[in-house]
Structure 1
Amino acid sequence: MLQQIDDKIRQAYNYLHENGEISWQEYKTTNYIEEILQSYGCETETFDACPGVVGKYGNFDGTVPVVALRADIDALWQEVNGTQCANHSCGHDSHMAMVLGVLYLIHSLEDLKDQVAVKFIFQPAEEKAAGALKMVELGVVEDVDYLFGVHLRPQAEVDDGYATPMIGHGATKLMEIEIDGEDAHGARPHLTHNAVNVGTQLVNAINQIRMNPGVPHSAKVTKFHAGGPNTNIIPGKASLSLDLRAQTNPVMAELEEQVEHIFKSIEFQYGTTIKVGAINQIAAAMTNEEAIEVMRGAVVSELGADYTLEPTVTPGGDDFHFYTIKKPELKATMLGLGCDLNPGLHHPYMTFNQDRMIDGTRILTRAVLNVYGFNKEFSN
């Protein structure tokens, strides 16, 4: 049974890996997954407002708890082998394959369908930090009691073959900034404030932020564009992107305050305008001990106590945690799966041990069964 399910997981992974789609454009992915969900007896729901699909498997008459599994479905836009393309360098292709694997495995335990209520949430736009909020807005988790997620972990955090029952993500804020001034002739620098100089001052000020080193945090400029093809024009405008990170929400608030002070100081110094455009924000993880213990038991059952780690803290972010922020009573946690992932997440040539996808599927399935108190064996 497990070998057949492993083959199906790899088949789904290969398709999803080769057909990645960026945030808010995941329509082919949605259609592919919806067909699989329906073929296994799920009632499916798609949305006019966005891509994404939800499958309901089992008995939703209110007599049993509803357990949901969430997989993020978007890819990143990156240069790979000299070509810009949608690339699943964050492992979302494997997350989808594993959550589908849970459906395959639960369905193989035929006597359970009337005794469980499992919701499979395939969520768009995690990389934009907006998909989870959209799913909440659409009422996807209103009836959910437990929510489980999964994410591949880099080798630096979780060794191959190990797993952690909770990923303690930090808070993230992504900001688009515009320096708004007028161009001038290269011979008349006194007529404008060079946006390159203004932007450089901003970069230097961001790099000088100092806060409590006891709480991990960082602030950095990840894009800086000014000027055009004419080298004799002093640019008055520039665009920058900022990436702010903090392990806790209070430290993120302090970091945001310092950045805002920098903006105001530079505006006053140069007599220019700094406009804050699009903002994507992810809150730090809100943990639930009951969900963590359910997942811990699942990891111990499937991998053994020696391969079960304590909750892992990471500076990375994930919009998964908006589900619990918007619905605090939700019992949620995210499985962290060690899989020899190198060189790291978001690297265009990221690789991982694909054999671990069946481990992730077994652990997630065991967590679902643990909620209902079922002790089923997964036969080979």
Structure 2
Amino acid sequence: MKKEEMTLSKQENQMKEAKAGRIDRTFVNRILDGLTEQITADRRQFHKNPEVGWTEFQTAVTVSQRLKKLGFNVSEGRAVIHDASRMGVPPESTLTEAYQRAIDNGFDKKALEPFKGGFTGVVGTIVFGEGPVIALRFDMDALKIEESRSEAHLPAREGFLSSVAGIMHACGHDGHTAIGLGVAAVLSKLKPFMNAGTVKLVFQPSEEGVRGAKSMVKADIFEDVDDVLACHLIGNEAFGKIICGSNGFMATTKMDVRFSGRPSHAGSSPNAGRHAILAAASAVVNMHAIPRHEAGASRINVGTFNGGTDRNVIPEEALLKIETRGEQTEINDYMRQYALRIIKNAGEMHGVETDVTLMGEAIGGKSDESLVAVIKEVAEAMTIFDDIVGIDSHAGGSEDFSYMMSAVQAHGGKAAYFMVGAAPVGTSGVGHHTHEFDVDERALIASVQVMIETVVKRLS
């Protein structure tokens, strides 16, 4: 038998096995081999055109149009975003500027219309048959960071550096969105061979600042979901490592605190003023002195302190941007309430009015061991991971995916959040949210494969 005939015969056998419901790794790998270039190109295109939370107009349109071409049923905009549950929405001027940028970059106005006002969520659904519903979450937003232009930085060297001043993908969400589209492409090719279940691909805006997930949960996307998964690339861990489930999410609250006093001449009539900075400073010192909780780790941080106009004016305004965190939701509640009490009393002590605006929030979350076990089984059977961790409980950060986890777990479903090492080759990796952040693009394909094989196992 000729080599070409042997190859054809092997492919025919794989197709027959797939039709019989036995979709093996070789079959999936063959599909992925044909998608690697596209997935990488998608990541680089998203990286070049970053958009911060609630302004992901270009990204959302790109995702929506691709999903439609792949045969997904697509819901978008207000259909998947609950308006009253959005947090930290930018000023109208910022939304308008980003919307116009999308138009200037050639995006169709009709396609952009559903996302106007910052309703930049997309959900694509593919139905294989009766059976479980699995949701996969992919975040899309970038950060307000100026990207490095060093030749050592791959995006600069390869020509896909951020084209927007002061904004870059510094946490891997460009990769996450590309992974989502990669998963969509594979699922569309598997559809003739799948006969059970439904998969929802949830493309979430505004994860940074934990502002977007709650609004998608409140839009009732997860009411029928049995399993929900999310993946995050780790920029300071080498490619080859996978953490199959994270339990280290800290509950968190993000707040803007405004102190409004009364200005006066600092020399001739200091007593006539109401010193906003003095009140804010009192709050800062005392918030950082909050007693820690016996039940677990807690955090508080004042990240921004702005106020005043000049050295000889009693300042009328001061603004703090603060966050609290807790190992458990109850601990974060304790920190938040203590902080609010301090803010109120600091204002009253100096005759200054206080106003607190909620800018973002997330609850604690834990991955389900049974679903983590499936991910671990998949990872162990793949040949690319040499460092496989089951459940890690020391993440220390916060993720609003916890709202999605909780929503599914509340009605008996399972949830898991896995992380894939993606430090660029030849480096020890740099921290997330830095101007030199980048990822090893091999992790994109690996992440798609883990998700696909996990979905296939759960729907088999």
Are positions 1:284 and 2:364 aligned together?
A: yes
Give the AA of the match of 2:65.
E
**CA contact 1:5–1:101 (8 Å) conserved in 2:** yes
Return the alpha-carbon distance in structure 2 between the equivalents of residues 268 and 118 of structure 1: 53
Q: List per-residue Cα deviations over 1:203-255 (Å, max 9, x = no partner).
A: 22122223147733211111111012x44322121011102122211211221
- What do residues 124-169 of structure 1 show as CA deviations (whole Å, max 9, x unaligned)? 12124232222222222222211111112242xx543111111221
Asked if structure 2 preserves the Cα contact closer than 8 Å seen for 1:58 and 1:113, the reply is: no
Query: What is the distance in 2 between the residues matched to 1:260 and 1:233?
Result: 27
Give yes or no for contact 2:243–2:418 (8 Å, CA) kept in 1.
Answer: yes
Q: Which AA in structure 2 matches 1:333?
A: A
Among residues 147, 150, 155, which one is paired with 1:80 in the alignment?
147
Q: Is the Cα contact below 8 Å between 1:249 and 1:284 reproduced in 2?
A: yes
Output the CA distance in 2 between the equivalents of 1:81 and 1:14.
15
1:378 corresponds to which residue? none
- Cα distance between partner residues in 2 of 1:32 and 1:132: 20
Match of 1:376 in 2: none
Match of 2:347 among 264, 267, 284: 267
| 1:3 matches 2:72 | no
Q: Amino acid of the residue matched to residue 368 of structure 1?
A: V
| Alignment pair present for 1:357 and 2:426 | no
Does residue 387 of structure 2 align to residue 300 of structure 1? no
User: Any stretches of 5+ residues in structure 2 without a counterpart?
Assistant: 1-29, 82-118, 150-163
Residue 416 of structure 2: which of 316, 319, 333 is its match?
333
RMSD: 2.3
How far does residue 40 in structure 1 lie from its aligned partner after superposition? 1.6
Matched to 1:68, the amino acid is A
Matched residue, 2:58: 28
Deviates more, 1:269-278 or 1:172-181: 269-278
Identity of aligned residues (%): 24
Using the TM superposition, give the Cα deviation of residue 113 of structure 1 relative to its aligned residue in structure 2, in angstroms. Answer: 4.1
Structure 1 residues not aligned, in runs of 5+: 374-380
Query: For 1:367, what is the secondary structure of its paired residue?
Result: helix
SS in 1 for 2:356: strand
The answer to whether the 8 A contact 2:223-2:407 is kept is no
Selected match of 1:178 from 234, 237, 258: 258
Equivalent residue, structure 2, for 1:41 = 71
The one of 146, 158, 167 equivalent to 2:246 is: 167
Larger strand fraction of residues = 1
Q: Retained in 2: the 8 A contact 1:72–1:92?
A: yes
- Which deviates further from its counterpart, 260-269 or 63-72? 260-269
Contact persistence 2:140–2:173 (CA under 8 A)? yes
Describe the superposition over 1:259-294 as per-residue Cα deviations: whole angstroms up to 9, x where unpaired. Answer: 123223323432322221234211011432222222
Contact 1:68–1:146, Cα closer than 8 Å, also in 2: yes
Query: Could you state the TM-score of these two structures normalised by the residue count of structure 1?
Result: 0.89
Q: What residue number does 1:377 align with? A: none
**Counterparts of 2:277 and 2:347, CA distance in 1:** 14
Q: Which residue of 2 aligns with 1:153?
A: 234
Q: Residue 255 of structure 1 aligns with which residue?
A: 335
- Residues 3-54 of structure 1, C-alpha deviation per residue, up to 9 Å, x if partnerless? 3221111011011111121211112111111121122221211123611211
The amino acid across from 2:418 in the alignment is: L
2:61 maps to a residue whose letter is N
Q: Which has the larger radius of gyration?
A: 2
How many angstroms apart in 2 are the aligned matches of 1:346 and 1:52?
A: 23
For residues 77-116 of structure 1, what are the structure 2 equivalents within 5 Å? 77-80=144-147, 84-109=165-190, 111-116=192-197
Aligned to 2:126: 57
Instruction: Pick closer, same or farther for the CA change 1:17–1:354 going to 2, 3 Å.
Output: same
- Contact 1:27–1:52 under 8 Å retained in 2: no
3-state SS of paired residue (1:318): coil
The CA deviation at 1:306 is 4.8
Q: Aligned equivalents of 2:422 and 2:245: distance in 1?
A: 16
Q: 1:54 to 1:185 in 2, by over 3 A?
A: same
Output the CA distance in 1 between the equivalents of 2:430 and 2:379: 25
- Cα deviation for residue 198 of structure 1 reads 2.1
